[in-house]
Amino acid sequence: MSQPRLDIEAQHSELMVTLARWMAGDFSNQKQAFDQPATYAHIRIFFRPLPVSFFNTIGFYSEQVYDHDLWTPYRQGIHRLVDWGDRIYIENYSLTDRLRYAGAARELDILRSITPDCIQRRYHCSMIFQRDGEMFRGSVEPGNQCSIEKRGHQTYLVSEVELTEQTWVSSDRGLDINTHEQVWGSAAGPLRFEKWQSFANEVPTQSIE
Instruction: Give the pLDDT confidence score for residue 207 in this predicted structure.
Output: 57
Q: Is the pLDDT of residue 197 over 60?
A: yes
The count of domains in the chain is 1
- Between 119 and 204, the higher pLDDT residue: 119
Domain that holds residue 123: 5-196
Indicate whether 85 belongs to any domain. yes
Indicate whether 203 belongs to any domain. no
**47-89 pLDDT, tens per residue?**
999 999 999 999 999 999 999 999 999 999 999 999 999 999 9
Indicate whether 209 belongs to any domain. no
Any idea what the CATH number is for the domain that residue 23 is in?
2.40.128.590
Nearest CA-CA partner of 9 in 208, 204, 209: 204
Indicate whether 129 belongs to any domain. yes
Q: Is the pLDDT of residue 1 over 90?
A: no
Q: Is the pLDDT of residue 2 over 70?
A: no
Indicate whether 95 belongs to any domain. yes
Indicate whether 204 belongs to any domain. no
Confidence of residue 3 (pLDDT cuts 50, 70, 90): very low
